[in-house]
């Protein structure tokens, strides 16, 4: 599933989340969006804000001279307002609050975007994506026994799980962890899944939350040998570009599962390429 080719901004799974988040912001008559960190989410948020006439304010970790020039160029192209603070969660939060207070003092209406778009509204993007998977499955006659994707800020997996729950589609959804060990990631997914399920007025089976943490390597955003091999294979054999942080490691997990015979005989497996721009903006 080529989420890297979504056709808006710089693509990827964040665009689906922004479909709902920016829609909610517009419905609330917002005129300014605030988010933190230089990420595919914040870069796509800058594109969405520009397209819909909303100011976008991004709080970045580190000094301007420490930022990726390609990322900075995109932010400027989309007209985002950038602020730089030390690389510390408390500093990011404090500056975000300061900017929000300043804008409210000017009579602006603020919409705070959770990093990665991972909240109840953002999760709806992948509830809808699951409906597309079902439609493709029906049209093609292909039943997917397993769905594999990279899991990080959790909204992608939460949306898929809720889509599965609502449809009763028979599959196993495996999130290949990009940063957190399985116990921590499962709990993060569980919390957002429960709150999103409540938001929708439905239930969720917590037993369907599956996370594989064996392909993180030495840590978040650190390339791994297995991830590099997967990235090279996808590029050489399919002309598909993965990134070292998310999709490369998820593909390494996919390849390992296939080699180890962890899929059923003749089982169809869906790999969701969640984007990442081949890592050029990290």
pLDDT given for residue 40 in this prediction: 93
Please determine, for residue 161, whether its predicted confidence score (pLDDT) is greater than 80: yes
pLDDT given for residue 282 in this prediction: 75
6-10, 42-46, 108-112, 238-242: the lowest-pLDDT one: 6-10
- Helix or strand or coil: residue 175? strand
pLDDT given for residue 280 in this prediction: 79
pTM: 0.95
**Burial class of 238 by CB neighbour count within 10 A (0 to 12, 13 to 18, 19+):** exposed
Residue owning tokens 């209406």:
109
- pLDDT tier at 53, thresholds 50, 70, 90: very high
- pLDDT tier at 62, thresholds 50, 70, 90: very high
CB distance 117 to 18 below 8 Å: yes
**Burial class of 112 by CB neighbour count within 10 A (0 to 12, 13 to 18, 19+):** middle
Structural domains of the chain sorted by starting position, each given as residue range(s) with its CATH number in brackets = 3-115 (3.40.50.1100), 120-279 (3.40.50.1100)
pLDDT given for residue 60 in this prediction: 97
Element (H, E) at 239: none
- The residues, ordered by sequence, that sit 6+ positions from 27 with a Cβ below 8 Å of its Cβ are none
- The residues, ordered by sequence, that sit 6+ positions from 114 with a Cβ below 8 Å of its Cβ are 35, 122
pLDDT given for residue 281 in this prediction: 78
Helix, strand, coil tally for the chain in percent (to 5)? 50, 15, 30
Q: Virtual CA dihedral for 168, 169, 170, 173, nearest 10 degrees?
A: -110
DSSP H stretches of helix in the chain: 13-27, 40-51, 69-77, 89-105, 120-140, 155-167, 182-200, 225-238, 247-259
- pLDDT tier at 183, thresholds 50, 70, 90: very high
Q: Angle between the 225-238 and 247-259 helix axes, to the nearest 10 degrees?
A: 90
- d(CA 105, CA 66) in angstroms, rounded, equals 31
Please determine, for residue 279, whether its predicted confidence score (pLDDT) is greater than 80: no
Please determine, for residue 277, whether its predicted confidence score (pLDDT) is greater than 90: no
Q: Return mean pLDDT, the chain.
A: 96
- pLDDT tier at 276, thresholds 50, 70, 90: confident
Q: pLDDT by residue (tens digit) across 218-270? A: 999 899 999 999 999 999 999 999 999 999 999 999 999 999 999 999 999 99
Strand partners for 146: 172, 269
Q: pLDDT by residue (tens digit) across 90-131? A: 999 999 999 999 999 999 999 999 989 999 999 999 999 999
Element (H, E) at 82: strand 81-85
């Amino acid at each position: 599933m080529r989420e890297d080719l979504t056709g808006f901004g710089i693509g990827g799974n964040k665009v689906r989340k922004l479909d709902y988040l920016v829609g909610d912001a517009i419905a609330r008559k917002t005129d300014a969006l605030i988010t933190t960190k230089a990420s595919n989410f914040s870069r796509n948020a800058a594109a969405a804000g520009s397209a819909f006439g909303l100011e976008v304010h991004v709080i970045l970790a580190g000094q301007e001279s420490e930022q990726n020039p390609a990322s900075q160029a995109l932010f400027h192209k989309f007209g985002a307002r950038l602020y730089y603070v030390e690389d510390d969660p408390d500093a990011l939060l404090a500056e975000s609050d300061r900017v929000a207070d300043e804008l409210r003092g000017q009579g602006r209406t603020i919409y705070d975007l959770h990093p990665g778009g991972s909240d109840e509204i953002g999760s709806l993007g992948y509830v809808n994506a699951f409906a597309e998977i079902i439609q493709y499955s029906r049209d093609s006659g292909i039943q997917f026994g397993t769905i594999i994707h990279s899991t990080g800020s959790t909204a992608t997996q939460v949306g898929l799980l809720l889509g599965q729950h609502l449809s009763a589609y028979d599959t196993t959804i495996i999130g290949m962890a990009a940063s957190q060990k399985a116990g921590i990631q499962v709990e993060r997914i569980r919390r957002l899944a429960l709150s999103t399920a409540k938001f929708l007025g439905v239930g969720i089976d917590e037993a369907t939350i599956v996370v594989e943490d064996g392909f993180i390597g030495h840590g978040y955003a650190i390339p791994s040998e297995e991830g590099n091999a997967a990235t090279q294979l996808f590029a050489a054999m399919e002309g598909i570009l993965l990134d070292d942080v998310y999709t490369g490691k998820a593909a390494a997990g996919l390849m390992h599962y296939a080699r180890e015979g962890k899929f059923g005989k003749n089982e169809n497996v869906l790999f969701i390429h969640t984007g990442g721009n081949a890592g050029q903006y990290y």
